[in-house]
Structure 1
Amino acid sequence: MSMTARSSTPSPAQQTAAWGAVFSMSLCVAMLIAAEFMPVSLLTPIADGLGATEGQTGQAVSISGFFAVAASLLMTTLAGRLNRKWVLLTITTLMLISLALMASAPSFGVLMLSRALLGLCIGGFWSLATAVIMRLVDAEHVARALAIMYTGQAIAAAFAAPIGSYLGGIIGWRGVFWILVPIVAVNLIWQWAALPSLPANQRQTFRSLMDVLKRPYFARGIAAVVFCFSGAFAMFTYLRPFLEGVTGVDVTMLTAMFLVLGCAGFLGTWAGGRLANRHVVRLLQAVPLLMGLVTLGLLGFGERPVVVAVLLAIWGAMNTVMSIAWMAWLSQNLDDAPEAAGSLVVAAIQAAILLGAAFGGSLLDHFDIQATFLGSVALSALSLLLVGSGRRLLKVG
């Protein structure tokens, strides 16, 4: 079986099973995204509950990014020739443990431990996800399968934050994380039943990672990825303090704002799945441009809730497109080395989330929320400059 496509035409039963596996991965994505970013909507109560500042809590939440970077770089090498199905099942089990630790954390240190463990899960899953998708479905269906998998991201973005902020006011932030535990347990069982055996085709080494990174178009793409995602999360991590302090929303309105942002992600998923095959460069250009303009718009019109809601809808759509577009770029331009390229792209994304959140938190603690958002705009602008016309991001031949 090739890493880029199936070697023969699958039977209808095999096709059905393959798409069932794709949907099980979509639920896993939803749980990973919810676990990683739900604390954004609970940032203030978590900080109050653990006796920390919002900036410190935002950076502690983002510690998962540091461990995700390490896991994404090490996963395909340490996994060796282990069957990828069992690697993914192990990752889901660790996510279950990390959520239980998060919900019961008695101190800031235990919170950081739970986030570190979650980071290992995030990096490990995403480093393998695109390569696994490329093995589950035919090459012409990869963009569609990626869009389905990222529907899990859209669902989490749509409902995790608003539900988290709403339920957090009723059952507390710990109760919110306890709710996720049984869902992840169900997902573990589904993955076990749905995923086919996925023997490793070849052993990845650090040399194979470096060989991919030496490709000029890929190195440029990695730099653009870092600035794109760090710009997005320098703003997103501290969106709640902005909405509370500048827009002046209460918990109910805050929930509605996050719901608007998240629901727009479904539009982004649809657009990404439809356009990524033929217009990936246009998407890579549109994402940092529109995200930067939205952030400037929030600074200019942050006191007008209706305008803020519209701007957040645009941002939410671009947030989903961002992931689909970069993974589609990977599948189209690095189809000969999807695991190695996937490891490096995921490492870049997670490093960007970590750096973006840390950068934004530092600006928030030392200056104000306006400085945080301006920093986000600057990072998005650098990403747009690196993408440029897109020609230097494409494989030749």
Structure 2
Amino acid sequence: MTQAQESSTSPATRPATSRNGWPGVAALALGTFTVVTSEMLPVGLLTPMGRSLGVPEGVAGLTLTVTGLVAALSAPALVPLLGRADRRTALCVLVVGNLGAAWAPDFGTMVVARVLVGIGMGGVWAVAAGLAVRLVPAKSAGAATSLVFSGIAVASVLGVPAGTYLGALAGWRAAFLAAAGLGAVVLVAAALLLPRLPAERVVPLGGVLRLTRDPRLRTGLLVVGFLVTGHFAAYTYVRPVLEDVTGVGAGTIGALLLVYGIAGVAGNFLAGAGAARSPRTTLLVIGTVLALTVAALPWLGGSPALAAVLMAVWGLGYGGVSVATQTWVLLAAPDAREAASSLFVGVFNGAIALGALAGGLVADRVGVTAVMGTGAALVAGALVTTAVGRAPHPRLPGRDPVHDPRT
């Protein structure tokens, strides 16, 4: 590290945390809710979107794929490109992207709009968790990170179903317009509740990539890759699996997914508390729960009651993945939290796309229930990586991991 870099990370140049920063943390949580809702809206709107834009549903589904891939590629690049610019600018891009999607007269325009959504997503995700720990005292960092990531689980329970319902009532364009409006609300809330948000430290793109030389961060990113790929290889096809194994209809599947989502909210906060004490132990528990549950669903899910229990346990486990892995990453790179978070976002979104692709290949060539075994095997890979890889030291109560020499 150069002398200039060292001086940029000194306590004098780093914004002070605030004991009244919780409204700002809540604004960040609303931001993550908006990001996930914006990303996943096409899931419930594919049929009317495709019909309106003149493309098949399969092609319309690319609007989801392109957004995830752009977010994965843009997040590591945005941190050095933004430099010391205010991080709230990423929200502006997200709003413009959703407005473009609501207006899009053809599929090409829609793809451009979704690219902008992906860029906005990458920018928001890359800084959200790192900002949370800058707004509250060190002893509250774990709780603040959990609150920020609760937006993910709440979006799956409320955001995407609400967008689907609005699309049915007022047309699919209204759902994207509402997402743009929500993004504007978040932008106003960020302006009122958050301080100006420059980077803690300007890191060039080469510096972002060089962070992966740290075995603790490298292990964390590998765990993210295995866990998220395994989850989405299975979860993307959970509906046909439940239809085949349990024999339930669309209404019951909707209820099972609601149970999954509610359990995910609880899992987020449980894992946040555990990861602050020991990220390795927390992820070992999460990985074990996910591997066993996903593998068991084709064998034990024949009863709707057992299927509900398994979906609840699955949601409880996966609900903690984001906050636990992000905590690991932040502890592994306490002096470059934004840069490390951008790598986390890139790996996470890339793993979503890879998991959906892997699950589709297995479903087509072997059978839909086989995706559960594939997902469980990948999660088992995360378990092994967590157990044998280098882990960061947990944050001790009352100590900031940035200044604590033991981290």
TM-score (norm 2): 0.84
Does structure 1 retain, via aligned residues, the 8 Å contact 2:130–2:337? Answer: yes
Q: Distance in 2 between matches of 1:298 and 1:27?
A: 33
Structure 1 residues 4, 360: closer, same or farther in 2, change over 3 A?
Answer: farther
Structure 1 residues 64, 219: closer, same or farther in 2, change over 3 A?
Answer: same
Which residue of 391, 399, 404 maps to 1:393? 391
| Structure with higher helix content | 1
- Residues 333-390 of structure 1: CA deviation (Å, up to 9, x unaligned): 3212212211212211111112112222333344532233332222212111111156
Query: In the alignment, residue 349 of structure 1 is paired with which amino acid?
Result: F
TM alignment of 1:160-239, pairs within 5 A: 160-171=159-170, 173-239=172-238
Q: Distance in 1 between matches of 2:240 and 2:50?
A: 12
Q: Is 1:24 the equivalent of 2:27?
A: yes
Give the equivalent residue in structure 2 for 1:261: 260
Does structure 2 retain, via aligned residues, the 8 Å contact 1:5–1:134? Answer: no
Does structure 2 retain, via aligned residues, the 8 Å contact 1:6–1:137? Answer: no
1:125 positional shift: 1.3
Structure 1 residues 212, 27: closer, same or farther in 2, change over 3 A?
Answer: same
Q: Is 1:320 the equivalent of 2:315?
A: no
Give the equivalent residue in structure 1 for 2:90: 91
- Residues 149-196 of structure 1: CA deviation (Å, up to 9, x unaligned): 112222112223443455555555444333323222211211111110
Which stretch shifts more, 43-52 or 289-298? Answer: 43-52
- Residues 69-104 of structure 1: CA deviation (Å, up to 9, x unaligned): 221111111011223xxx32x221222222233345
TM alignment of 1:1-397, pairs within 5 A: 14-16=18-20, 18-42=21-45, 51-52=55-56, 58=61, 60-83=63-86, 87-88=87-88, 90-171=89-170, 173-244=172-243, 246-388=245-387, 392-394=390-392
Q: Which runs of 5+ in 1 are unaligned?
A: none
1:32 positional shift: 0.8
Structure 1 residues 67, 372: closer, same or farther in 2, change over 3 A?
Answer: same
Which stretch shifts more, 337-346 or 158-167? Answer: 158-167
Q: Distance in 1 between matches of 2:117 and 2:172?
A: 17
Q: Distance in 2 between matches of 1:211 and 1:303?
A: 48
TM-score (norm 1): 0.86
Which stretch shifts more, 209-218 or 36-45? Answer: 36-45
What's the Cα RMSD here?
3.0
Does structure 2 retain, via aligned residues, the 8 Å contact 1:133–1:145? Answer: yes
Aligned residues: 387
Structure 1 residues 8, 291: closer, same or farther in 2, change over 3 A?
Answer: closer
Does structure 2 retain, via aligned residues, the 8 Å contact 1:4–1:335? Answer: no
Does structure 2 retain, via aligned residues, the 8 Å contact 1:162–1:254? Answer: no
Q: Distance in 1 between matches of 2:319 and 2:262?
A: 10
Which stretch shifts more, 232-241 or 41-50? Answer: 41-50
Query: In the alignment, residue 287 of structure 1 is paired with which amino acid?
Result: I
Q: Distance in 2 between matches of 1:136 and 1:282?
A: 27
1:251 positional shift: 4.1
Residue identity over aligned pairs, in percent, reads: 31
Query: In the alignment, residue 147 of structure 2 is paired with which amino acid?
Result: I
Structure 1 residues 183, 260: closer, same or farther in 2, change over 3 A?
Answer: same
Structure 1 residues 294, 178: closer, same or farther in 2, change over 3 A?
Answer: farther
Does structure 2 retain, via aligned residues, the 8 Å contact 1:59–1:357? Answer: no
Indicate the structure whose relative CO is greater, using CA pairs within 8 Å and at least 6 residues apart. Answer: 1
Does structure 2 retain, via aligned residues, the 8 Å contact 1:5–1:137? Answer: no
Structure 1 residues 58, 224: closer, same or farther in 2, change over 3 A?
Answer: farther
Query: In the alignment, residue 26 of structure 1 is paired with which amino acid?
Result: A
Query: In the alignment, residue 378 of structure 1 is paired with which amino acid?
Result: A
Query: In the alignment, residue 324 of structure 1 is paired with which amino acid?
Result: V
Structure 1 residues 8, 149: closer, same or farther in 2, change over 3 A?
Answer: closer
Structure 1 residues 24, 376: closer, same or farther in 2, change over 3 A?
Answer: same
- Residues 299-332 of structure 1: CA deviation (Å, up to 9, x unaligned): 2244432222222212222222101101111232
Does structure 2 retain, via aligned residues, the 8 Å contact 1:229–1:349? Answer: yes
Does structure 1 retain, via aligned residues, the 8 Å contact 2:128–2:148? Answer: no
Does structure 2 retain, via aligned residues, the 8 Å contact 1:222–1:348? Answer: yes
Q: Distance in 1 between matches of 2:76 and 2:265?
A: 30
Does structure 2 retain, via aligned residues, the 8 Å contact 1:3–1:135? Answer: no
Does structure 1 retain, via aligned residues, the 8 Å contact 2:259–2:312? Answer: yes
Q: Which runs of 5+ in 2 are unaligned?
A: 1-7, 394-405
- Residues 15-74 of structure 1: CA deviation (Å, up to 9, x unaligned): 32x2111111100100111122344455566567764355x6555412222111221111
1:280 positional shift: 1.6
Q: Distance in 1 between matches of 2:247 and 2:170?
A: 23
- Residues 119-174 of structure 1: CA deviation (Å, up to 9, x unaligned): 21121111112222222122221111101111222211222344345555555544
Query: In the alignment, residue 394 of structure 1 is paired with which amino acid?
Result: P
Which stretch shifts more, 98-107 or 307-316? Answer: 98-107
